[in-house]
Structure 1
Amino acid sequence: MFPHQQLDKASTRRNLRAARAAITPEQRLAAAWAVTRSPQILRRLRHGQKIAIYVPVAGEFPTWPLILHAMQRGCEVYLPRTPRFGRQLQFVRLDQQSRWQLGKFGIPVPCHPQTCDPKQLDTVFVPLVGFDLQMARLGQGGGYYDTTFAFRRLRRLWQKPKLIGLAFSVQQLANIPTEPWDLHLDAVQTECKYLQAAVDQITN
């Protein structure tokens, strides 16, 4: 990556975080529950499906209603655990037997003996700082999701898991500069609409 690209991404992240932080608590709560009524999202939350969802931090799109809804619909819910070394996320089961502890960066993580390999997940709801209509994703900059789901770039027919970003509409950009290793999403759900890649019609 060239130095000017790094600078552009850093300034873009600052602007998007500021816009995201300006969203009121009432708007956040309404957005979080609106996602649980999205027909496209509900199709992903089928009984027995392995669903990964993140714990929101630092102004990220809130997910607790979605987590509860997925569990009520009989999904196997997993939350990411950031490793102390390396960039490969682990996904830990969340259910009634789970206990909580603070993980890396102070993010709550469930304690549970059951984990799920990223390749075995059906749907992953992904946090982001920004996105565009080409489904490019601007993340926090740590590269954890890019690394964990790098295997998807090698596939042509079987695209599992489906990667769905959760964002507010103010996080949409006209174009995000990307590198070959940057993660692309299958769809993005905002508080007001569901957007998906033109080449990837999510039907299953």
Structure 2
Amino acid sequence: MSPPFVPLDDKLALRRAIRARRAALSAAERHAGSLAVAKLAIHLLRNSRRVAAYVPTGSELSTWPLMLYALHRGCDVYLPRVPRRGRRMSFVKWDSTSNWRVGRYDIPEPDHPEVIGARLLDVVFVPLVAFDASLARLGQGGGYYDATFHFRRMRRHWRKPLLVGLAFDEQRAERVPAERWDLHLDLVITPGGILRRPA
């Protein structure tokens, strides 16, 4: 199925179109897709100690299989904490001792004493609404990931954390309209394979 045609400057329309395509997937398709993405992503955990992911909401691709595998491999797993003020997130450890609390936008967050900053992470699995061949990312519109990983854009040479988008193939768009402050990813993993940023 070809990506929906949307005017390049209309992020709202693109979000609506891609969300509708994602929501049209059956529960079985979403489950199978999440398992397929986890299998493709586990190689990134081999040399990673601190891994961040996200709590899936709505029809987002589920990170639970990947997070459970990361714990099994001995990785420290962190989930984002959305601040009450500002846009820079911190990352809270999630393990068997963590309790849960309702965070901003009613997204569950672990309640754990260990909280770290984005620069200390090795790999970050990032949610998204849409992506394109250049690995431009269209998020929910809050700008939290863009602000949190702003420091990655200031570097001439790559250093951690590796930013990896997780999505269904149906979330690929012909082109994502991107501003200079919008986040580009290092990789996007879908059930169909791994996309790397063009050199």
Aligned residue type for 1:70: A
In 1, are the aligned partners of 2:91 and 2:118 still within 8 Å (CA)? Answer: yes
Number of the residue aligned with 2:153: 153
TM-score by length of 2: 0.93
Number of the residue aligned with 1:15: 17
Q: Quote the offset at 1:107 in angstroms.
A: 0.4
TM-score by length of 1: 0.91
Higher relative contact order (Cα pairs below 8 Å, separated by 6+ residues):
2
Q: What does the per-residue CA deviation read over 1:134-193, in whole Å, with 9 as the maximum and x for residues that have no partner?
A: 010011100000000000011011321000000111110111111110000001001121
> How many correspondences in the alignment?
193
In 2, are the aligned partners of 1:135 and 1:197 still within 8 Å (CA)? Answer: yes
Number of the residue aligned with 1:35: 37
Secondary structure at the counterpart of residue 12 of structure 2:
helix
RMSD of aligned C-alpha atoms?
A: 1.4
Q: What does the per-residue CA deviation read over 1:94-126, in whole Å, with 9 as the maximum and x for residues that have no partner?
A: 011110111001101000010121011000000
Q: Quote the offset at 1:5 in angstroms.
A: 6.5
Deviates more, 1:11-20 or 1:43-52: 43-52
Within a 5 Å distance, the mapping from 1:47-58 to structure 2 comes to 49-58=49-58
Number of the residue aligned with 2:3: none
Percent identical residues: 50
Secondary structure at the counterpart of residue 96 of structure 1:
coil
Secondary structure at the counterpart of residue 179 of structure 2:
coil
In 2, are the aligned partners of 1:46 and 1:74 still within 8 Å (CA)? Answer: no
In 1, are the aligned partners of 2:51 and 2:75 still within 8 Å (CA)? Answer: yes
Secondary structure at the counterpart of residue 191 of structure 2:
coil
Q: Report the Cα distance in structure 2 between the residues aligned to 1:145 and 1:30, rounded to whole angstroms.
A: 27
Deviates more, 1:132-141 or 1:43-52: 43-52
Secondary structure at the counterpart of residue 37 of structure 1:
helix
Q: Report the Cα distance in structure 2 between the residues aligned to 1:184 and 1:36, rounded to whole angstroms.
A: 21
Q: 1:170 to 1:48 in 2, by over 3 A?
A: closer
The answer to whether residue 87 in structure 2 is matched with residue 98 in structure 1 is no
Q: Runs ≥4 in structure 1, deviation > 4 angstroms?
A: none
In 2, are the aligned partners of 1:48 and 1:74 still within 8 Å (CA)? Answer: no
Runs of 5+ unmatched residues, structure 2: 1-6
